[in-house]
Structure 1
């Protein structure tokens, strides 16, 4: 009997195991996982609600070294339709797709129930250390050796520590002489200089821009949270995806993005003429107002500039421990359009272990499942050719 081994029991690995057992009845499917349980990241997705996808899916929502391939894979996968086939009823809330239950636990339960019903074998607490290839594969874990006719890498990344933090996921690829793009945190909080500690815990809505040498790299409208190390919030997470190590950035805050500078200038002039003792009261959060009030004898133009173009230096990104995903991983230059690794027969890679990182909003889970779907189709075609 043919044996397929999937390394990693995250969303892409478990979903692929289901698809393979559905399509290839005379095949053993084994999922090897270094953690004690499966789907840890799924449970944390969307603050426990599991944001599965987004109405707006395009290659521009991803960072990779082959965005054209990523675009084809994500566009060819209908998340709503495919989840319904599994019995997971989902609904859009605006742009975002969630399970009707709004519980990530529902996603885990349905995925695992379907996999177990189909006879997928799960092996936990087993880290893959190396492999050998002699017409088929021998997978060496910290506990045993496993034979595999087909091998799929689906280990995820170390982001958030939920997939485990062992660096062997990349070491294995290096031993196979495959290019690995150095991983770095993405969708993560930022350190700033200065840290305005009196603003800790303050949330603001506005427009936020990442600048390099005064030029805007990317802009996000949304919410920002001040912390004791710098800044957090969805808008900051999105901006972090455009951060590159070794570059100097500033974060620009527009506190009054609903007003253009002309209208805001007219309003500030009128307000200045009234001679308020506490000029910023009612304009900004009280902690931010107190900070600005200490800057006495400001001209109208300076006040407007501060409200529209307040800047903080970005001192860096926080570590993988708080990141949602990692940029980097196995280069897409090592795989073909079916995510088959070019240098090795019957070997594939899916999900976050690849050098593919999406923005916030369901893009990363969409790619994880779409890449599994792509590989399932490829293995099914290969099996059909072999048996005819």
Structure 2
């Protein structure tokens, strides 16, 4: 019998525990979680609806230092088929895949029920502080106990969004093991802007939004933006934030009328009455633009099609959905086994893999667990035969 310890009860950790117990029921599977309960971040995914995957599943929607490996992992995993095997029925809404229930809670309940029924042991409030090699096994030191393991899987997640815990010891463990860690920075997060349009707080705008540096468009997103009391938020902003880099100076350009060309908007405005922009856009935005009544129609249209905000920075990790950075994929094999440490694997958010909004990060979490499960089953079988 082998003792397999999974560090982290997030999406990848819980799914892996279930796969391993189903494939190798004779082995002891222990999941260590630093929080008081499992799958906390999963419950917030997709505004509680749990966006699991996307029809357009390709490595171009990810950032990593080994995109070819990412492509192999995500392509090797069929979310609909694998979820149905554990009793979770999923349906596509457009390109986005959701559980039929549209409830992250039901996903959590299915995973935990199946795992506990299979005999997985979950231990909570266990922060792993150190991992040491001991001949052919490993010693795991937590805040309250020592555990000897034959196989370890690192699935600690990241500090994004508070929900998987803000302790940075997850990275210290990797550094103690002399593994390369790409500096983690927040991604899929809101922008601080100048000016801050506080009069528009709570107003949502549909349009096209461009991240620009030195008059060059870095990336463009069509979607929705939300004005806040610190800057801007919304799905389009979250996507743009994944292209943000420290020590760069960016502007955000808003096209309030992306469905109209410059000339078409000029014609439309030329027919407006003294109400100015009322009837064309949100009342609060129309009111905010009243100060530009002195502009010519051509100048006003240029402003409405390219309204500039200076980006002062991104919000902190506690507000982010994911972190760019983490354990370099150059440290692992195609099976996600650490090259320097046989029988230690890494998966999910602890790796230097960050996807866009739209189910990409959850897909990688489950797909990486699936890859590790196959590798452990194969390796344990070979060693026992």
Smaller-chain TM-score range?
over 0.9
1:18 counterpart = 2:18: yes
Specify the alignment match of 2:182 in structure 1.
181
- Asked whether 1:281 is paired with 2:282, we answer no
Specify the alignment match of 1:266 in structure 2.
267
Which digits, 9 at most, give the CA deviation of each residue in 1:318-343, with x for residues without a partner?
Answer: 11111111111111111111111111
CA deviation vs aligned residue, 1:210-267 (integer Å, no higher than 9, x gap): 1111111111111111010000111111111111111101100001100112222333
Is residue 28–residue 120 contact of structure 1 (8 Å, CA) maintained in 2?
Answer: yes
Contact 1:30 1:122 in 2 (8 A): yes
CA distance in 1, matches of 2:118, 2:274: 72
Which TM-score applies when normalising by structure 2? 0.98
Instruction: Name the structure 2 match of 1:60.
Output: 60
Taking the aligned partners of 1:93 and 1:196, their CA distance within structure 2 comes to 34
Q: Secondary structure at the match of 2:292?
A: coil
1:1-388 equivalence runs, <5 A: 1-134=1-134, 135-271=136-272, 276-388=273-385
Counterpart Cα distance in 2 of 1:297 and 1:167? 53
Cα distance in 2, alignment partners of residues 35 and 43 from structure 1:
14
User: For the Cα contact (< 8 Å) 2:61–2:356, is it kept in 1?
Assistant: yes
Contact 1:53–1:98 (Cα < 8 Å) also in 2: yes
Structure 2, gaps ≥5 residues long: none
Deviations 1:138-167 (Å, cap 9, x if unpaired)? 100011000100111000001111011111
C-alpha distance in structure 2 between counterparts of 1:118 and 1:297, whole Å = 71
CA distance in 2, matches of 1:52, 1:182: 27
Distance 1:250 1:225 in 2: 16
CA deviation after TM superposition for structure 1 residue 290, in Å: 1.4
- Native 8 Å contact 1:90 1:100 kept in 2: yes
Rounded Cα–Cα distance in structure 1 between residues aligned with 2:56 and 2:292:
44
Stretch of structure 1 that moved more, 45-54 or 257-266: 257-266
Matched position secondary structure for 1:360: coil
TM-score (norm 1): 0.97
**In 1, distance between residues paired with 2:141 and 2:298?**
67
- Listed one character per residue, the Cα deviations across residues 93-121 of structure 1 (whole Å, up to 9, x for unaligned) are 11111111111111111111111111111
Classify the secondary structure of the residue corresponding to 1:160: coil
Distance in 1 (alpha carbons) for counterparts of 2:219 and 2:125: 41
Q: Is the Cα–Cα contact under 8 Å of residues 278 and 293 in structure 1 kept in the other structure? A: no
Tell me the distance in 2 between the aligned counterparts of 1:118 and 1:203.
Answer: 46
* Cα distance between partner residues in 2 of 1:374 and 1:107: 21
- Tell me the matched-pair count: 384
Please give the per-residue CA displacement for 1:163-193, whole angstroms capped at 9, x wherever unaligned.
1111100000000000111111111111000
